[in-house]
């Protein structure tokens, strides 16, 4: 491969979850080799597992609902919920939210930092 001031891409789609090191170097026609460059990266395609402790799928007599969730994943960096497909709201587990009388749907999301 001969080139000057070019960019090259190499796409690998079959890597499993884990930690990797990519190493790069180049040489010229006189076989002079540059310093080795490397990039450490990891692949994590496993979503965090969530547990909803409350609310339960039941009828409440109050509009104030305790939202308590947890995860076996230790690297959750952000939690969100939305009420009845409204705007996503960031939260820290074990908060109280206010819902309107009637049926309500709470959707919970979590993002792990890996």
Which tens digit of pLDDT belongs to each residue from 65-82? 999 999 988 889 999 999
Residue 7 confidence (pLDDT): 78
Please tell me the total count of domains within the chain: 1
pLDDT value at 89 more than 80: yes
Q: Side-chain half-sphere of 90: how many Cα atoms within 13 Å?
A: 4
Residue 27 confidence (pLDDT): 80
Instruction: Let me know the angle formed at the C-alpha of 74 by 70 and 76, rounded to the nearest 5 degrees.
Output: 70
Q: Would 11 be classed as within a structural domain?
A: no
Q: Would 2 be classed as within a structural domain?
A: no
pTM (2 decimals)?
0.65
Q: Would 99 be classed as within a structural domain?
A: yes
Q: Would 29 be classed as within a structural domain?
A: no
Q: Would 31 be classed as within a structural domain?
A: no
Q: Are 77 and 70 in contact (CB under 8 A)?
A: no
Whether the bond into 69 is cis, omega within 30 of 0: no
Q: What is the pLDDT averaged over residues 8-12?
A: 83
Residue 2 confidence (pLDDT): 59
Q: Which domain holds residue 100?
A: 50-112
């Amino acid at each position: 491969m001969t080139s000057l001031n070019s960019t090259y891409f190499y796409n690998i789609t079959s890597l499993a979850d884990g930690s990797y090191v990519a190493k790069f170097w180049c040489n010229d026609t006189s076989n002079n080799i540059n310093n080795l460059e490397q990039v450490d990266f990891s692949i994590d395609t496993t979503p965090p597992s969530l547990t909803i402790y409350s609310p339960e799928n039941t009828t409440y007599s109050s509009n104030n609902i305790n939202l308590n969730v947890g995860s076996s994943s230790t690297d959750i960096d952000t939690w969100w919920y939305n009420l009845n497909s409204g705007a996503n709201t960031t939260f820290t587990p074990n908060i109280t939210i206010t819902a309107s009388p009637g049926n309500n749907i709470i959707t919970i999301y979590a993002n792990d930092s890996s």
